Amino acid sequence: MPVITYRQALNAALAEELARDENVVIIGEEVAEYNGAYKITEGLWKKFGSRRVVDTPISEGGFLGLGVGAAMMGLRPVMELMFWSFAYVGFDQIVNNAGCIRYMSGGLINLPLVIRGPANGGTNVGATHSHTPENFLGNTPGLKVVSPATPYDAKGLMKTAIRDNDPVCVMENTLLYGDLGEVPEEEYTIPLGVADVKREGKDISLIGHGRAVITALRAAERLAEEFDISAEVVDLRSIRPLDEETILASVRKTHRAVLVDENKPFCGVSAQIATMIQEYAFDDLDAPVTRVCALDAPAIYSPPLEEHQLPTADRIIEKVLAVC
Amino acid sequence: MTTAQLEKTEHSVDDFAKAPVNASLTSKQKLGFLRDMLRIRRFEQASLKLYQQGKMGGFLHLYIGQESVAVGTCSLLTPDDHCITAYREHGHAIVMGMTMDECMAELLGKSTGCSKGKGGSMHFFAPDKNFWGGHGIVAGQTPIGLGIAFALKYREIKGCCLTFLGDGAVNQGVFHESLNIAALWGVPVVFIVENNGYSMGTSLARSSSIRSCLAERANAYAMDWDIVNGENLYEVRAKSVEAITRAREESKPTLLEINTYRYYGHSVADANTKKYRKAEEIEFYKQNHDPIRLWEKQLKAEGVADDEKIAAIDHEARQEAARSVQFAEESPFPELQEIFDDVYYEVDQGTEAGHTGRHFFND
């Protein structure tokens, strides 16, 4: 099976969907002639032309709203945000318009819209460029939110997001763009709402999404080697819709859970997972559910400190040892 | 705009009556415009009564006084053209073909409403009639209108999207972003500022920095613009058709400013409606600039209608509004379980995607 990067996997998904469906149009800042600020759209403008791959001015509210209008008319716009942090400039268009129009029209309208881009800290760019708004967006009925951790998932989820008939927010991660993984050449998609057990284990469940999954896998490896603890790693992949069954099945098997989350702790995605576990698997638990989140302050610039602000394998191991 | 200024900019109705788009009108069409304006007014007067009786929640932004704008502009549309506006949208909805019944029921939050009681006064939609809302956030609809027109161009359809906004919306960033993109890419959108003089309780003079008018801001984006006296139906049509033709034929946007006036507050809940402008000002407009009265006068002068004919049309409009009130009042409210319908298309359609994973998080 070919081994490609997360970036190439996303690029392949976009290229395949552009070729498959005339209604797919890629719109965003620097997506065309510049080949994408993070090169996710590299080569697409050359191959598909200015009609299908469209550079915008720096106007997030304007072009996100344009995407909503185009989706109302049946196009399938894939809107790139250079950073999900920039979504805050266009939040009205995402939450009020993409998120609520179907409802407020009594179901007369649907919006086959994808909004994608990186949503992560850890790159020393300061607080304004380091937001992880998957919890805000997951808090908005009407929107769907996915967050792939591997090249395989990135391609499969992106293709499904484009084919879905509701607005889907795809939260990527610049720190994962260069990660390598096996991705089959043949066509495949991954349904939204299906989690993936990335590592089987029996002593504790580490549950997260996006890059936190990669950190959890690293911690699981060390837990096995250094402490003889068998950790299961559950990758949510999709935040809304959420695969409750896989999460609960894992907890019922291991009886313990540490949630790993690059969101800030207050009302982060992991807070929702925690309440779900205590409500539906309380009797299966042998220890309190605990969390390793981003430290609760705006993203710090200072490089050595920011490394510690995000969940690390050390912090995960510490939490695991406290309950195992 | 002060009343003195408005009088100064008044044009002769005859000038615009001679424009081809108006000269070709049949008596039936002219009476149709009167019928539509009266239907809007009677619908809203009936809704106001319901609001005052406490039968309606939320806000009610009345269009009364501005009817000629929606009727004049939307009368020019073909099946390839589209329309979107903000929350003062009852007039546009009715002229685009929505029924009073579905609109009145929506105001009362009934399941027979156009949005099944999920949208309310500010959120009427009829995609099958090319009417895309009904939007509650000031200027939030402007990039959507741009996107609708973008889709027309993408599909090589010779149509346009009339994108309405109020004079209060012109200072929102997203509107300027939309103007820039529209001109830059040549998008067939017509932005129509319905300038009623007040952004809620703040007059134009206190809210917008301009030299002579709002529409000239289009100059900053190398976009065509025009200013229109909205009380004159012929002028509205004559000037709007130029913008619409520019969009359809040349794929170029226009910014139109149509001067008009609202008789009621920003919404019916506007507690200060009699504080930020004088009662005499409102009365002056009603007496001298009411678009329906002026059109009636015009039809009589042209021999198209007499008092009896006008009274008959008005009677029909009142009856239709009264029937819609009855329909709305007799309609049921939505069931509690319907709260979860119309959130996700895939769930509503019962697709595999709609069944996969948890979409709602109640207990």
pLDDT tens string A31-60 = 999 999 999 999 999 999 999 999 999 999
Q: Structure tokens of B287?
A: 């007496």
How far off is chain B from A75, nearest CA to CA, in Å?
Answer: 7
DSSP letter at A300?
A: P
* 3-state DSSP of B38-91: HHHHHHHHHHHHHHHCCCCCCCCCCCCCCHHHHHHHHCCCCCCCEEECCCCCHH
- Give me the amino acid identity at A241: P
Contact assignment for B342 to A72 by CB distance below 8 Å: no
Contact assignment for B127 to A107 by CB distance below 8 Å: no
Q: What is the pLDDT of residue B5?
A: 45
- Tens-digit pLDDT profile for residues B43-76: 999 999 999 999 998 999 999 999 999 999 999 9
Domain boundaries, chain A: 3-182, 196-323
pLDDT greater than 80 at residue A270: yes
Set of chain B residues whose Cβ sits within 8 Å of the Cβ of A242 = 357-358, 361
Q: What is the pLDDT of residue B42?
A: 98
Q: What is the pLDDT of residue B219?
A: 97
The answer to whether residue B184 neighbours chain A at the CB level (below 8 Å) is yes
pLDDT greater than 70 at residue B3: no
How far off is chain B from A98, nearest CA to CA, in Å?
Answer: 10
- Tens-digit pLDDT profile for residues B114-136: 999 999 999 999 999 999 999 99
Report the percentage of chain A scoring pLDDT > 70.
Answer: 100
Contact assignment for A166 to B344 by CB distance below 8 Å: yes
Strands A76-80 and A24-28: parallel
| Structural domains present in chain B | 3-332 (3.40.50.970)
Fold: same for A3-182 and A196-323: yes
Which residues of A participate in catalysis according to the annotation?
Answer: 60, 129
Q: Which of B116, B146, B180 sits opposite A65 (nearest CB)?
A: B146
pLDDT greater than 90 at residue B6: no
How far off is chain B from A121, nearest CA to CA, in Å?
Answer: 27
Choice among A112-121, B207-216, B268-277, B311-320 with the minimum mean pLDDT: B268-277
Indicate the pLDDT class of residue B275, thresholds 50, 70 and 90.
confident
pLDDT greater than 70 at residue B211: yes
Choice among A27-31, B189-193, B195-199 with the minimum mean pLDDT: B195-199
Contact assignment for B146 to A62 by CB distance below 8 Å: yes
- Tell me the average pLDDT of chain B: 94
Q: What is the pLDDT of residue B97?
A: 98
Which of A51, A104, A137, A168 has the most B C-beta neighbours within 10 Å, making it the best mutation to test the interface with B?
Answer: A104
Indicate if the alpha-carbon torsion angle A179, A183, A187, A193 is positive or negative.
negative
Cβ partners under 8 Å of residue B63, min gap 6: B40, B44, B70, B88, B89, B90, B91, B262
What angle (nearest 5°) sits at the alpha carbon of residue A155, between those of residues A153 and A159?
Answer: 115
Indicate the pLDDT class of residue A126, thresholds 50, 70 and 90.
very high
CB A140 within 8 A of CB A99: yes
Q: What is the pLDDT of residue B11?
A: 57
Annotation: CATH topology of A196-323? Rossmann fold (3.40.50)
Which of A24, A53, A96, A103 has the most B C-beta neighbours within 10 Å, making it the best mutation to test the interface with B?
Answer: A103
pLDDT greater than 60 at residue B2: no
DSSP letter at B126?
A: B
- Tens-digit pLDDT profile for residues B286-301: 999 999 999 999 999 9
Chain B CA closest to residue A275: B363
The arrangement of secondary structure in A3-182, i.e. its CATH architecture, is 3-Layer(aba) Sandwich (3.40)
pLDDT greater than 80 at residue B180: yes
DSSP letter at A80?
A: E
Q: Which of A77, A106, A194 sits opposite B118 (nearest CB)?
A: A106
Euclidean distance between CA atoms B247 and B239, whole angstroms: 13
* 3-state DSSP of B259-306: ECCCCCCCCCCCCCCCCCCCHHHHHHHHHHCCHHHHHHHHHHHCCCCC
Chain A CA closest to residue B185: A56
Contact assignment for A62 to B353 by CB distance below 8 Å: no
Euclidean distance between CA atoms A120 and A209, whole angstroms: 12
pLDDT greater than 50 at residue B1: no
Indicate the pLDDT class of residue B271, thresholds 50, 70 and 90.
confident
Q: Which of B173, B181, B359 sits opposite A57 (nearest CB)?
A: B181
Helix (H) or strand (E) holding B173: helix B173-185
How far off is chain B from A38, nearest CA to CA, in Å?
Answer: 23
Q: What is the pLDDT of residue B7?
A: 47
Report the percentage of chain B scoring pLDDT > 70.
Answer: 96
The answer to whether residue B342 neighbours chain A at the CB level (below 8 Å) is yes
pLDDT greater than 80 at residue B272: no
